[in-house]
């Protein structure tokens, strides 16, 4: 990432085709900590929906991601990668909680069975 006060110096010399996308939080200090959620599901039937991630550290501090704006499709034994962001960084994660939602009010509730999951910090890749 680039600090907001330095992005022009870094990107404009690269040419007019350079595009920059800035992801900010609505909370002070307005930076986002991005993680890549890699999920393999076990459901036999296809599920479409949204994932919200909550991470908790050993001190009980909790941070929750925003709901993705685009629904993901989950198929049996297929990996799905979801970019998720948090307004605060958690260094040592003790617990991860996922909430699956189809955002529909009618019809049966659906569960998403997770076979394998990996959460990787993009701001600190060695974690």
22-55 pLDDT, tens digit each: 666 676 767 788 899 999 999 889 988 899 999 9
The C-alpha atoms of residue 127 and residue 112 are separated, in whole angstroms, by 26
Looking at domain 36-126, which CATH architecture does it have?
Sandwich (2.60)
Name the residue among 108, 101, 106, 85 with its Cα closest to residue 49.
101
Portion of the chain with pLDDT greater than 70, in percent: 75
The pair of structure tokens assigned to 6 is: 């330095």
Q: Give me the mean pLDDT over the 77-87 stretch.
A: 90
> Which CA distances in Å does 42 have to 18, 39, 72, 107?
40, 10, 15, 21
Q: Give me the mean pLDDT over the 58-85 stretch.
A: 88
Q: With cut-offs at 50, 70 and 90, classify the pLDDT of residue 62.
A: very high
């Amino acid at each position: 990432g680039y600090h907001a006060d330095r992005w022009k110096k870094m990107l404009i010399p690269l040419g007019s085709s350079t595009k920059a996308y800035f992801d900010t939080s609505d909370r002070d200090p307005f930076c986002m900590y991005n993680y890549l959620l890699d999920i393999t599901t076990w459901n036999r039937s296809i599920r479409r929906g949204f994932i919200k991630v909550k991470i908790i550290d050993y001190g009980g501090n909790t941070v929750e991601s925003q709901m993705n704006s685009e629904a993901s499709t989950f198929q049996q034994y297929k990996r799905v990668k979801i970019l998720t962001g948090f307004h605060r960084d958690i260094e040592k994660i003790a617990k991860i909680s996922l909430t699956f939602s189809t955002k529909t009010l009618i019809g049966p509730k659906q569960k998403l069975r997770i076979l394998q999951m990996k959460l990787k910090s993009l701001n600190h890749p060695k974690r």
